[in-house]
Structure 1
Amino acid sequence: MSEVFDEEALRAELAEDRPPHAGPWSQLGAAVVTGLIGVAGVVGSLGLGLGRLTAPGPGLWPFVVSVVITTLSVVLALTGRRGTDTEKFSRASVMTAIAVLTLVLLALLLPLIGFEIPSLLLTFVWLRFLGKESWRSSIAISVATVAAFYLLFVVLLQIPLPRLI
């Protein structure tokens, strides 16, 4: 009997730390947004060319992933309105949006100025501002990470990444 009480007390304690429930419209909104992303991925991957199973084209895997995203979005739209696991937007939501925005900026800057500077800035922003690391460790880890990626992908594996030099 005490185990049941402890379990109920734990659930109550965990519920206090959660943001309020966002409601069914949030589930539907999430389904629509991810569905649009999935459809855009399908269209973009078709533009790259799917190829054949024996000779896959560059768009085959993005196509597969986009179809999965679109399918799961439809499932969420149909069943998610009854779910109670969504949370209202909070500071954590803004942090996630900033993280996604920095990834988009990385993708946009990569072909223009190479991978070094955008990767360094992305790593630094994530460590310092999203992860609340110290300035010193953020700088050191960012530089070390980009150097390690450079050595691994450019020097050792000889992958033709867009680079400054």
Structure 2
Amino acid sequence: MISASNEAVPGGSVKHAAAGNGASPAAIDDVVEPLTPEQLAAEWEEERPPHAGPLANVAAAVAAGALGIAGLAMSVGMGLGTPEKPEAGLWPFIISLVMIAMSVALLLFGRKKLDAEAFSSSSWQVAAGIGTLVGFVLVIGVAGFEIPTLLLTFVWLRFLGKETWRMSIVLSFAVTAAFYLIFVVALSVPIPHLL
């Protein structure tokens, strides 16, 4: 007589095992059944950080709107030009307009949504990423792009992405070399560089 049992497997699947009685060895059926969409949704909901709430959505809309207004003013100061002969401020102007429109939409409709996540300890990773990117922009004009790109990529991979030391070092050099070959050698983009 064979009895079957279900065993939970990490990752949310169910593993069926059939055990034999008597002298015969136990036969294991390694068929793993995937979760249904409803089970996956319930599992994701349990692991999800708490909701931010309507006040956080309003604050995000106001902050993004203020950034869009500042970008609008700065892009007008750089000059817009015409669609046939665009100047430096045309694309930042368009992007700033889109940011303002999205901020208004979030302000009007986002207060009723609960999709935004509350700030948690992992939110500091985003702040660290933005801070290192700002540092990159400030240093690139003085040191060229090679060393800041190498350091930025390494910090993002090792400390924000939790990659191994070896993978972080190898990928940092590979990304920097690829950027150099694409932008300096192939496209001759006038960016500050050492070599």
> Given the alignment, which residue of 18, 39, 43 partners 2:48?
18
SS of equivalent to 1:56? coil
Offset of residue 7 of structure 1: 4.4
- The aligned residue for residue 97 of structure 1 is 127
1:36 aligns with 2:34: no
Runs of 4+ in 1 over 6 A off after TM superposition: none
CA shift, 1:161, in A, is 0.8
Which digits, 9 at most, give the CA deviation of each residue in 1:38-89, with x for residues without a partner? 1111111111110011100111011000100011001111111111101111
Residue identity matched to 2:176: V
Amino acid of the residue matched to residue 143 of structure 2?
A: I
SS at match of 1:97: helix
Amino acid at match of 2:39: A
State the percentage of identical aligned residues.
53
Deviation of 1:118 after TM superposition, in Å, equals 1.2
Could you say which structure has the greater relative contact order, defined with CA pairs below 8 angstroms and 6 or more residues apart? Answer: 1
Cross-structure match for 2:24 = none
Residue 83 of structure 2 aligns to a residue in which SS?
A: coil
TM alignment of 1:3-152, pairs within 5 A: 6-152=36-182
1: CA distance, partners of 2:68 / 2:186: 35
1:3 counterpart residue number: none
Deviation at residue 164 of structure 1 after TM alignment: 2.8
Can you give the 5+ residue segments of structure 2 that lack an aligned partner in the other structure?
1-35
Counterpart code for 1:69: M
Deviations 1:9-38 (A, max 9, x none): 333221101011111110011001111111
Count of residues in correspondence between the two structures: 160
TM-score by length of 1: 0.91
Match of 2:191 in 1: 161
State the alpha-carbon separation in 1 of the partners of residues 45 and 117 from structure 2.
12
In 2, Cα distance between equivalents of 1:95 and 1:101: 10
Cα RMSD for the two superposed structures: 1.3
More strand by share: 2
Quick check: which one's helix share is greater? 1
TM-score, normalised relative to structure 2: 0.78
